[in-house]
Structure 1
Amino acid sequence: MCDYKKYLAEFIGTFVLVFIGTGSAVVAGKEIGFLGIALAFGLSVLVMVYAIGQISGCHINPAITIAMLANGKIGSKDAAMYIIAQCIGAIIASLVLLSIMTGLPGYSLAINGLGQDGYGIASPGGFPLMSGFIAEVVLTFIFLMVVFGATCKKAPAGFAGIAIGLSLAMIHMVGIPITGTSVNPARSLGPALVVGGTALAQLWMFILAPIIGALVAAIVWKYLFEETMSPA
């Protein structure tokens, strides 16, 4: 398969995740609430796993790509190109969402935002930096453990998308009140770059914490579980 197809798939997948996920919050958040937003993120990943999983593996998340690189499941060139494609997809998704929302009377980017993540004054529930940081590390760790387990050779074939999508929805149910839920640096990058201000100033946390959580999961999986999952 041509490399560009894998990178394009990652671009499209991340675009869908960010556009649908953050779009659900901005467009329909008042109607569907936190639960609906959580399901929108989870369903976005679930359907994209089956749409592009056979092309690129459907990482659509730099934290996943970095964890896969750490465990030797992807090469450094592909990892770099995946991350670039994911970030571009997220940014364009936020720009498209903004172009739609500017047509809504009364919408203000500064007031209504674009579903950006945040802590402290920008946290939906008012949670401080340390609470947000711990939550993002732990939630990303959980998410990556599901990704590794659902995609290992001994996992039931054909069910990875369901497990991964449902786990992301589950994570959002807890994480949205804390930070808005990132567990994905690209998902946070797109809205932050477009919104600017506090969202951009706080972006570092939503890059660092998910990467730490993903790397811890990669280490735990590789050294504690992967060996036990190998054929005898």
Structure 2
Amino acid sequence: MTKKLVAEALGTAILVLFGCGAAVIGGAEIGFTGIALAFGLAIVAAAYSLGAISGAHLNPAVSLGMVTAGRMTVAEFAGYAVAQVAGAIIGALVLYLIVSGKPGFVMGEWALGSNGYGPGYLGEYSLAAALVFEAVMTFLFVTVILGATGAGSAAGFAGLAIGLTLTAIHLVGIHVTGVSVNPARSIGPALFAGGAALSQLWVFIVAPLAGGALAGLVYKAGLTRA
């Protein structure tokens, strides 16, 4: 179990550092498409390097979906979630240490790639839009993960399918919430950014967990598997 938790922490740190790092450091040059690819490629890298150890969930919503699908215990979920949040905080810390070294750096209201919504945040979408987007997209994301890693799936392609799905979700929704679909990914940057990022954090915990849990229930019912 220790190896699994270390793998989850390391993988989630990679996701935050690569994905949020692309947004913060190279966002102006690579645009939304580049940021979306960075998140997707981070998942692919983690899946193929760490997946054999822990399954490379890297996301409490994914782990909760595994619980409701009957593929993980609640105790295992708790350990995974703690490791994932710890990894996200480490990833955000490393990112902060890098970007704070740039002359003139100022910690903005939604710094370090924090998720958000409403006035002042990207497309300024409403709270309702943010909740719907995060819940629905997490449901779809976890549905793909459960299918790609379940019995009868094509061997060796799960990481690619999952990474491409996360890329597509970012292409659709960066302007809406910055895309979370992952409570840990949101917690790490928000703890450093504070302010609005921290006060709005509940959205990016509640909605993804609800979407992930529902995906697991639907999968367990046999509605999204052979």
Shared fold (TM-score, shorter chain, > 0.5): yes
Paired residues of 1:116 and 1:199 also in contact (CA < 8 A): yes
The residue identity in structure 2 corresponding to 1:34 is F
Paired residues of 1:122 and 1:198 also in contact (CA < 8 A): no
Paired residues of 2:135 and 2:208 also in contact (CA < 8 A): yes
1:110-129 paired onto structure 2 within 5 Å: 110=108, 113-129=111-127
The one of 2, 5, 11 equivalent to 2:3 is: 5
Greater Cα offset, 76-85 or 49-58: 76-85
Greater Cα offset, 149-158 or 214-223: 214-223
The residue identity in structure 2 corresponding to 1:206 is F
Q: CA deviation at 1:112?
A: 7.0
Paired residues of 2:141 and 2:165 also in contact (CA < 8 A): yes
Gaps of 5+ in 2: none
Aligned to 2:201: 203
Q: CA deviation at 1:122?
A: 4.6
The one of 46, 50, 58 equivalent to 1:48 is: 46
1:69-80 paired onto structure 2 within 5 Å: 69-80=67-78
Aligned to 2:91: 93
Paired residues of 1:26 and 1:112 also in contact (CA < 8 A): no
Greater Cα offset, 198-207 or 117-126: 117-126
Aligned to 2:13: 15
Q: Secondary structure at the match of 1:203?
A: coil
CA distance in structure 2 between the aligned counterparts of 1:25 and 1:191, rounded to whole angstroms = 12
Aligned to 1:64: 62
TM-score, scaled to structure 1 = 0.95
TM-score, scaled to structure 2 = 0.97
CA distance in structure 2 between the aligned counterparts of 1:184 and 1:92, rounded to whole angstroms = 16
Aligned to 1:105: 103
Greater Cα offset, 7-16 or 74-83: 74-83
| Deviation string, structure 1 residues 11-35 (Cα, Å, up to 9, x no partner) | 0000000010000000000000000
The residue identity in structure 2 corresponding to 1:108 is V
Gaps of 5+ in 1: none
Q: Secondary structure at the match of 2:151?
A: coil
Paired residues of 1:9 and 1:58 also in contact (CA < 8 A): yes
CA distance in structure 1 between the aligned counterparts of 2:146 and 2:176, rounded to whole angstroms = 25
Question: How high is the sequence identity, in percent, across the aligned residues?
Answer: 49
| CA shift in 2, pair 1:122/1:7, >3 Å | farther
| CA shift in 2, pair 1:205/1:112, >3 Å | closer
The residue identity in structure 2 corresponding to 1:20 is F
CA distance in structure 2 between the aligned counterparts of 1:190 and 1:111, rounded to whole angstroms = 14
Aligned to 1:188: 186
Greater Cα offset, 192-201 or 213-222: 213-222
Aligned to 1:84: 82
